Amino acid sequence: MRTQVVIVGAGPSGLLLGQLLSVHGIANVILEQRSPEYVLDRIRAGVIEKWAADLLDDAGAGARMHREGLVHQGIEISFDGRRHRVDFDALVGKSVIVYGQAEITRDLMEARAAVGAETYYEIADVSLQLDQPGRSSVRYGRHGRVQEIQCDFIAGCDGFHGISRKSIPEHVLNCYERVYPFGWLGILVDQPPVSPELIYVNHERGFALCSMRSPTRSRLYLQCRLDDHIEDWPDARFYEELSRRLDPHAVGALHRGASIEKSIAPLRSFVAEPMRYGNLFLAGDAAHIVPPTGAKGLNLAASDVYYLWQALLEYYRERSAAGLEAYSSQALRRVWKAERFSWWMTSILHCFPESSGFDQKMQRAELEYLLSSRAAMTALAENYVGLPY
């Protein structure tokens, strides 16, 4: 079997790249180790930059997002028990869309089915053959048999734990990492949001975030310990702890419904450089991870996909490899800016167990400055809505 581009992973980066290539006539096959149901059940990102929304439109998969997504023109930051609004519209004239990753994934899966492009789910033992310049192939197990696809290029869109990055020889990659000493405990609940906009909470007991998926569905997060288990967090304990961290007005608006999903995510910053090895191109979480505080992970996956899609178009339309040569450095420039923003949001909003008295004073000063300075809030807004591609 032969195709132009093999994409490993049917998360948002793989599906978005596949769809952009398909609608522009570039043949591609997606290989995914999980079932479609499993992929759709992962509750993750919720905030979409306008740039990523535009790309979904380019892929012909944005219609439901525009119908059902919630346009947000600001966020609130709660500090010392008081809420402060960061008005994106007034500060930078832009907004974001609150629309779940699972919905984007569903829309992309349906768009892919409509153009008749192939995705093989529940495949096993993917291995990449990268040794021969100009000739790549991917081997995998399907229905108990080993199969192979020849291709021009491989897109490694298989997330942080995938095999694509691990297929690059160690001496070629430089990895940069910070692991944070806490996680996020998240619940999804069919109850109206506490407030029309997201509330990011700095509190001495730890960070909290009140987000949403729709006018009737809330997504709530608490900073938790790395050794916490979800069994130790029945809903009653979750709401009790959240109430301690929220301002009284938000507590009054909190509906304590039964959670329909509960999970713990560790927080990490990670970048692997370069994002290319021969004919293999990494995109999304396969190449980098941000802590979720800046809502950047999915959005960075989208910008990688944009650069890679443009480079592949240039290659097939103009027979020029210039875009492919530039891909890694171009993508990484935006990646590092989002890494910085996500690290900074994490550092000003969380409680760090090892922090000294000086560190705590610095965090207070940073927040007091931020919330009293239009220039500082503009910088936050500019990054939150997304830097241009």
**Can you spell out the DSSP letters for 258-308?**
PEEEEEEEEEEEEEEE-SEETTEEE-GGGTEE--GGGS-HHHHHHHHHHHH
Residue from 162, 151, 122, 158 nearest 10 by CA: 158
Q: Which of 34, 25, 23, 20 has the alpha carbon at shortest distance from 3?
A: 25
Q: Is 350 a catalytic residue?
A: no
Nearest-angstrom CA–CA distance, 376 and 107: 36
Q: Are 285 and 268 in contact (CB under 8 A)?
A: no
In whole angstroms, the minimum distance from the beta carbon of 299 to ligand FAD comes to: 4
Contacted entry of ligand FAD, ligand DHB, none for residue 293, CB cut-off 5 to 8 Å set by kind: ligand DHB
Report the nearest approach of ligand DHB to the CB of residue 35 (Å): 23
Least CB distance to ligand DHB at residue 118 (A): 31
CA distance 319 to 180: 44
**Distance between CA 41 and CA 48 in Å, rounded?**
19
Only segment of 3-11, 190-198, 335-343, 354-362 that touches ligand FAD (CB under 6 A): 3-11
45-64 binders of ligand FAD (CB under 6 A): 45-47
Question: What is the smallest separation between the CB atom of 195 and ligand DHB, expressed in angstroms?
Answer: 13
350 interacts with, out of ligand DHB, ligand FAD, none, CB within 5 to 8 A per kind: none
CB contact at 8 A, 97 and 71: yes
381 binds ligand DHB (CB under 6 A): no
CA angle 189, 190, 193 (to 5 degrees): 80
By CB under 6 A, residue 269 contacts ligand DHB: no
* Residue 361 annotated as catalytic: no
Q: Which of 72, 203, 288, 350 is catalytic?
A: 72
Is 77 a binder of ligand FAD (CB under 6 A)? Answer: no
Give the interface size with ligand DHB as a residue count (CB under 6 A).
9
Helix (H, G, I), strand (E, B) or coil at 341: helix
Binding footprint of ligand FAD on the chain (CB under 6 A): 8-14, 31-34, 39, 44-47, 101, 126, 157-159, 162-163, 184, 186, 265, 284-285, 292, 295-299, 301
**Active site amino acids:** 72, 200, 292, 296, 384
